Structure 1
Amino acid sequence: MMGETWLWDMRQVKVVCRELNCGNPVSESRGPLIEDGRGGVRLYSRCSGDESSIRQCNIIGRPGFCDGGYYRHVTCSESVRLVDGAGFCSGRVEVKSNQSWASVCEADFDRQDAEVVCGEFGCGAPAALQGGLYGEGEGQTWDKEFQCKGNESLLLDCDTSDRENNTCLPGNAVGLTCSEPDDVRLVGGGSRCAGGVEWYDQGEWRTVGAADWKRRDVAAVVCRQLGCGSTVSELLGNTTRGIRVSCSGFESSLRECRRSYDLHPGLTVICSDLLVQPDIFLTDPMGGVFRGHQGPEMFRGYNFTITCSTQPQYPGGSFHLTFTGSNRTQTQPAVNHSAAFLFPAADYSHQGNYRCVYDNYVFSHNFSSESELFSLTITGN
């Protein structure tokens, strides 16, 4: 048990689960300390997450007793774990068998099985599933084939069947990468990649803050977890009660960082991928476009228009239409979040690859986003 004033993170939880031979951490929460007449111990520790026992962590100061405040409630996966991955949502899949851990063969594990494991760990959807992705392990191989439907809460709730092949060739121990959980968001910035940081914790969204010297590290983790690129700026605002977070800056998600529940300045973050990807499409009022084997083809002599558009996030901005055939660029201001580039009398000089680039000056910074490449072929005599 641990008092609330100390910053606690999932690295300590990982060590506790390992010491109890209970798989990987699933969640960590707090609750009233005195419920059944027992007291608790306030333990000041720093763990790397690789220790086999909480006693091997760096104990800061002397442990003490506490008779008020909160305790830490730890939930471990118990019978399945992800080993040798990066963060808490990836690794080699292992299942507990007779109090020892066994790797799972790739042939016995599919995407529906992976969805159950990712959900069990509180992670997002499976992103990668491959044999040998995180090594082979040193123990035995699980002797069953999983047959999950995808909606089970736990992997061991799934049906199993005997394996068709009793051998699992080297390189076939299944590795799984889940996407990061959707428990962090940025609000009030007009984009999923800008705004005040909030963390879904214990059934509600809570404001996230940080000490001034830690705000860049926390912002880096937020942008990484959201898939929003790198940090452009971070700002501390009004003091409020929520979750104070302290990160090293290299974590995959906020739940790997230390946290406490107290008063702190709220954190606003702007990430580099602020603007959504623009769309590019071709319109042909004269009917000169047809679908060819390599994509759209245009008859010579016909007019055509390439239109760039984006979602209505922010007003203003401009579109640049780049053309690789001649390395030329045309520019127009964004009107109603789009711009149309007219090409009269198509000829072979118009054949090539086009791309829309949307630029806008927002939050005192220049941002840019590129569309997919659009290839056009010109045909006819």
Structure 2
Amino acid sequence: MCVCCCGSTDSVRLVHGSSLCSGRLEVRSNQSWSSVCEEDLDLNDAQVVCRELGCGAPGLLQGGLYGEGEAPVWTSELQCEGNESAVLDCRRSSSAGKTCSPGPAAGLTCSDPGGVRLVGQPSRCAGTLEIQHQGQWRPVVDPFKDWDLKSGSAVCQHLDCGSVVSVDSTDDSTDRPVWRVSVPCVKLTSGPRDCVELADYYKHSSGVVVVCSDLLPQPNISLSDGVFEVYRQGFRVLVGSDFTVTCSVRPQYPGGSFRLISDTEKPLNLTLTAVNHSAHFLLSSMGYAHRGNYTCVYHVDVYNRSFSSSQSPALYLTVRDLVTHLIIRVVVVHFLLIMGTISLFFYCRVSSLLYSAH
């Protein structure tokens, strides 16, 4: 039986583990699941996998612990930086025809998320506080308005969601089972689930809404137009050509804007409004002043506050000079013609000698 950690993602899963957050790692690509080689999984990759699955920090990385890979081997190697929100946001390199021999398929154990979650909002780092206790998920009640920024900070830290931004109460007029939590205990222990005092039914009870700073996923950056070619860890753009850098983010909140930053000779700091969760920055006449790293930052106003994402992975651009490129091509063509002529000469000479011998 396959056990998929948290069942909350269509791109990555852990199978054949003893809990929801452990098992052999498989990645979904082209509508099918593939195993990952143990040698291709490092701590940064594991952090992103555990985060995407809603689990805690990665613990044990061990191949073969959860059986040999039954699925085909994934032909790409993850190159996560560790702060991405999902595996699909990570860079990857292709290794067509790769096998895991002699190493086994990657196994991963993430720590228990601790039975604490924020629900009801697009981000896992904002929403109504719920705690799992005695096998049941219930919202936390705040009848005396005791919850403040310090207790909310313990929740954000527990969820690896940065620092607390706000803690508010929400009124709910329905009868429902809830958990009551000792706020002084939360402030001291930073383990909200260990501070449950009482389970009961409350009418017109007040819930707890927590908003943490790491609300937004890391944006993506790509080169979408222009005459370019892959060059080492980036792209080489033809000098004089126009090119477009695209910033995008997984759909979460509507609106917002993207900022494009560069460490080039003439640094860029451009802002465009997000349309369909992306923005396209058209840059004209590629020149040597454009060489350098480009990154995107996503901004959005929600909960009456402004939030900014972490920077995207860096996109490195360099220049391909047209004259130099043409000279290299001419040299290569002439070299091939000379080598072809020499080969033909020796072929004809050998054929002539063989014919004379007969």
Deviation at 1:253, TM superposition (A): 3.4
After the TM superposition, which residues 1-381 of structure 1 pair with which residues of structure 2 at under 5 Å, given as runs?
A: 124=55, 127-128=58-59, 149=66, 179-181=111-113, 183-210=115-142, 211-238=144-171, 241-246=177-182, 247-249=185-187, 251-262=189-200, 263=202, 265-285=206-226, 288-325=227-264, 326-369=266-309, 370-380=311-321, 381=324
Q: Give the conservation status (yes or no) of the 8 Å contact 1:282–1:307.
A: yes
Decide whether the 8 Å contact of 1:215 with 1:267 is kept in 2: no
Over 3 Å counting, the alpha-carbon distance change for 1:331 and 1:212 in structure 2 is: same
The residue number in structure 1 matching 2:5 is none
Counterpart amino acid of residue 222 in structure 2? F
Say which structure is richer in strand.
1
Residue 234 of structure 1 deviates from its aligned partner by 0.6
The letter for the 2-side match of 1:255 is R
**C-alpha displacement at 1:226, in angstroms?**
1.7
The change in CA–CA distance for 1:125 and 1:181 in structure 2 (over 3 A counts) is closer
Equivalent-residue separation in structure 2 for 1:305 and 1:250 (angstroms): 51
Distance 1:236-1:257 versus aligned 2 partners, 3 A rule: same
Shift of 1:148: 5.5
Aligned residues: percent identity? 42
Deviations 1:160-202 (A, max 9, x none): xxxxxxxxxxxxxxxxx95342622211222111111112333
User: Aligned with 1:229: secondary structure?
Assistant: coil
Counterpart for residue 24 of structure 2: none
- Gaps of at least 5 residues in structure 1 are 1-110, 112-122, 131-146, 152-176
TM-score (norm 2): 0.54
RMSD value, Cα: 3.1
Report how far residue 317 of structure 1 moved.
Answer: 1.0
Q: Which runs of 5+ in 2 are unaligned?
A: 1-41, 43-53, 69-108, 325-358
User: How big is the shift at 1:283?
Assistant: 1.3
Q: Deviations over 1:327-359 (max 9, x none)?
A: 320111111111100112211111111111111
Matched length: 219
For the structure 1 residues 148 and 346, does the alpha-carbon distance in structure 2 shift closer, same or farther, using more than 3 Å as the test? Answer: closer
Task: Say which structure is richer in helix.
Answer: 2
328 and 295 in structure 1: CA distance in 2 versus 1, 3 angstrom threshold: closer
Counterpart secondary structure, 1:256: helix
Q: Is the 8 A contact 2:140 2:180 kept in 1?
A: yes
Question: CA 1:256/1:374 → structure 2, altered by over 3 Å: closer, same or farther?
Answer: farther
One-letter amino acid matched to 1:277 = Q
User: CA distance change for structure 1 residues 124 and 228 in 2, over 3 Å: closer, same or farther?
Assistant: closer
